[in-house]
A and B are shown apart, each in its own frame.
Chain A
Amino acid sequence: MSALQSPARGRAGGFADWIGAAAQRRRVVTEAFVDTFAAWGYEYLSTPLVEPLETVAAGVGGGLQTQLFRFMDADGSLLALVGERTVSVARVVSTQLQGVRPPLRLCYAGPVLFNRPPLGGRRREAMQAGCELIGHPGLSADAECIAVAAAALERAGVTGVQIDVGHADFVPSLLDSANLDAESRGRVADALRGRDLVAVEDALRGTDAGDAERELLLAFPTLRGGREILDTAGARISAPRPRRVLADLAELWDVLDRHGITASVHLDLGAVRDWDYYTGPTFELFSADLGFPLGAGGRYDRLLAAFGTDAPATGFVLHVDRCCDALLRGSGQDGKVEALRLGYSAGRAGEAPALAARLRQAGVAVALELEPTARHREEPVIEGMARLDDDGAVVWRYRGEEGRGVEALLAAHARGTL
């Protein structure tokens, strides 16, 4: 039987093995994210891969529920593999961390799963890392989340990041202040949710929505820019609720400016996010190299109430695998660091483990040969390998910037001064 026919070699569609440089990149990026979160005072927690379906359902919108892997517990109740982890953090906060004085800064990293149809090109398992800032209702908390997300991407080496900041209440407040009957309002909202701007136009045509609101709703994808677009939009709106949103975004912009990151921020009044879930500022992070957002977040003040704790909250998630894609496309290099292979003649086997330990202390990855390596004069030492020889020499070849440090250490060992 050929390898292609062997039934035991298959892999489920939409899942991946991570090997070599890809595996290393994925781990390094995840660590860069979690290290950044820790540096900003976010405490790491780890939650299960499985949650009761009703717990998961409290978080994701109705549409996403159909994209969960679901199965039955021993007692017949329904379980799901988590499709995002904010809801698990919310559950922990509402149960085990109830007495803790706010604000709580929590972070996590772990896989999430989606039961999407395979063959669509979309992953069904993805690594996510994120932060939740719970118990503070103010814009300073929203700004901090945006700043942490930006810092994490920077630390992971993702460049050219664009941050789009919007507000979950802008479009709903416009819809409410527009002169729309309930049916038209519902049609416009559905169309916006479906990102179907042609249907938005159709739904608004023939209604007597206020001109300013209609114009703004139709100008949807172009309502983006710097702080100045708040004035442009403000000049056309008189209703208090959308004006309050604009004032919030102006204040948020100023806090982001104090964090020093407005150069990469766009205000996006047309941001369409899950309005039933988000309650305040929202944001998405993009790279020019990728067709999907690298991460997203926002204020979700209603979620914790679903678990019996009424607390404001804001947070974000970073998609580790998409960030890895962006890194790979941006640089085109795989960046894998190989361990130094340390060989030795039979006569010098005794000192090899100590030298390896010393090199590891200095931060060099060392794989010690398992047997003495015979020396053939005609055969050069290969790249990435060093060998302790009988005549006292240390022969080495080691590439890259770290190579110089390794060379110095090996030279010191050869002189007996290490």
Chain B
Amino acid sequence: MSGGLRLALPGGALFEDACRLLSDAGVADIDASRFDRQLKIVTPTATVVKVRPTDVPVYVEMGACDAGIVGKDVLWESPRDCYELVDLRFGACRLVLAAPQGSPLAEGRFPQSLRAATKYPIAARRFFDSLGLAVELIKLHGSVELAPAMGLADCVVDITATGRTLIANHLVEVAEAGRATARLISNQASLKTRSEAVNQLAAALRRTVTAAAAPAAAP
């Protein structure tokens, strides 16, 4: 196996930031646009593949990749046996419980029985359990915010970054159920058998995201 570590990057919203982070950290100089034509790029320092976000933990757990970058929201729903090493801070979003404007739930009153539509059943279940609420979850694969308007569910548990989609669909946030950012994960064996390379990767990414955050945090 030449070319250093094998890394899995998530296609979609996090992809360009993930590529930029790898370049900034000096891990692998890759331009996101190169992946328009191919799914696997071998550089002198790393072999990088682009896969669907939900597939990143699969590649990493099975040892097809040593490490990967993936949103915490994906990890909630994919309880796979990987190490979660670094909070990469980008791709921030929140998981919220939202209900139609004017509904009892929107005013903070939890009805006896509740149906919630979500793409995140595991995280939603944990959230409702922590509140002691028995809620019927309906797993959807997209456009969750449509479900209350069509009477499929009373509320949604969904990811929001700006809140605009909620507003456009006349939903109001009732509670926050979780916060997610991009994470560096690693295979359990790679952390042991390639510990130096994996720990160097983790340290380089940590340094880069900490340095990037520092000016904003300064007074």
Contact = CB atoms under 8 A, between A and B. Distances in A.
Interface of A: 120-122, 162, 164, 194-199, 201, 221-222, 224, 266, 268, 284, 286-288, 290-293
A6 B29 CA distance: 51
B18 interface: no
Interface string B169-206: 00000000000000100011111111100110010000
A88 to B, nearest CB: 24
Contacts of B195: 221-222, 224
Contact of B84 (A195, A268, A286, A292): A195
Given A120-B58, A290-B63, 10 more contacts: A121-B58, A194-B84, A197-B83, A197-B85, A224-B195, A284-B192, A287-B189, A290-B189, A291-B189, A292-B63
B208 to A, nearest CB: 16
**Which label, helix, strand, loop or mixed, suits the secondary structure of the A interface?**
mixed
A195 B188 contact: yes
**Which label, helix, strand, loop or mixed, suits the secondary structure of the B interface?**
mixed
B149 interface: no
Given A201-B87, A290-B63, A291-B61, A266 B81 contact: no
B82 interface: yes
A162 B81 CA distance: 20
A293 B191 CA distance: 11
Interface of B: 58, 61-64, 81-87, 183, 187-195, 198-199, 202
Contacts of A268: 192
A293 B83 contact: no
Contacts of B198: 221
Nearest to A63: B79
B84 A222 contact: no
A385 to B, nearest CB: 40
Given A162-B193, A198-B85, A221 B188 contact: no
Nearest to A196: B84
B190 A198 contact: no
A221 B84 CA distance: 11
A283 to B, nearest CB: 11
Contacts of B62: 121-122, 291
Nearest to A194: B84
A221 B202 contact: yes
A215 to B, nearest CB: 15
A259 B192 CA distance: 22
B81 A195 contact: yes
B64 A291 contact: yes
B193 A287 contact: yes
